[in-house]
Amino acid sequence: MKSGRLVVIVGPMYSGKTSELLSYVEIYDLGKKKFKAFKPLIDNRYEDTYIVSHNKTKVNAIPISKPEEILKNIDGDEKAIFIDEIQFINENLKDVVITLRKNGVDVYCSGLDLTFKNNVFPTTSVLMSYADEVIKKKAVCHECGEYTGTISYKIVEDEKGEIDVGGFEKYIAVCRDCYTKLNKKKEESKKMNRLF
């Protein structure tokens, strides 16, 4: 059997990962090819049973909490599988995706490559390594306006850790230089707060 293709779409928030994923959905849809879409249950920002982009285009999706649920929810005759927000799914997703690809299914995944703390999201890293194609998207930097945004920056201070669902109220996309500047400013203001 001919192998499927694994395409992994990565980048910071607002870089168009979900939109790009949806553009591939449209290609299969127009070609009347059977497909299914999945998203992690944790991502409840817009609607539970849809993958939704920031500019509100959407497609029906099955919410999952474990990668194995993908295999349980497919019929076996799908030509493609789409998975958004892969950073929130555990690393066993790799085994599911590789099995699907071996069975001739095209798999399109999208998600964040880096946390707002500049650490990698392990599932995304692993899938990027196994991918036939990696598409790295950019956002417009919220600070300098250049089309060089490669990392997300968290604008609110809390103790929630690196997994924290949200959108414009919490995160911006910035370029490397602006990321460094903003973090420096944050450290300086923390220092001042400790002094007074």
Residue positions forming the annotated binding site for substrate: 163-166, 171
Contact 40, 123 (CB under 8 A): no
User: Positive or negative CA dihedral for 30, 72, 8, 21?
Assistant: positive
Nearest to 19 by CA among 135, 133, 105: 135
Two structure tokens written together for 63: 């919410």
Nearer to ligand ADP, 87 or 101 (CB): 87
Contact 38, 162 (CB under 8 A): no
Query: Can residue 121 be called a binding residue for ligand ADP (CB under 6 A)?
Result: no
Exactly one of 26, 47, 78, 85 is catalytic; name it.
85
Query: Can residue 178 be called a binding residue for ligand ADP (CB under 6 A)?
Result: no
Query: Can residue 29 be called a binding residue for Zn ion (CB under 5 A)?
Result: no
Nearest to 181 by CA among 143, 140, 150, 146: 143
Query: Can residue 174 be called a binding residue for ligand TMP (CB under 6 A)?
Result: no
Nearest to 85 by CA among 54, 106, 117: 54
Minimum distance from residue 195 beta carbon to ligand ADP (Å): 34
Minimum distance from residue 154 beta carbon to ligand TMP (Å): 7
Query: Can residue 13 be called a binding residue for ligand ADP (CB under 6 A)?
Result: yes
Minimum distance from residue 52 beta carbon to ligand ADP (Å): 7
Q: Measured between alpha carbons, how far is residue 56 from residues 13, 21, 22, 76, 145 in Å?
A: 15, 13, 11, 30, 23
Query: Can residue 175 be called a binding residue for Zn ion (CB under 5 A)?
Result: yes
Contact 67, 96 (CB under 8 A): yes
Annotation marks residue 188 as catalytic: no
Residues 130-169: x/- map of binding to ligand ADP (CB under 6 A)?
---------xx-x------x--------------------
Binding site for ligand TMP (CB under 6 A): 13-14, 17-18, 43, 45, 112, 115-116, 152, 162-166, 171
Active site members: 85
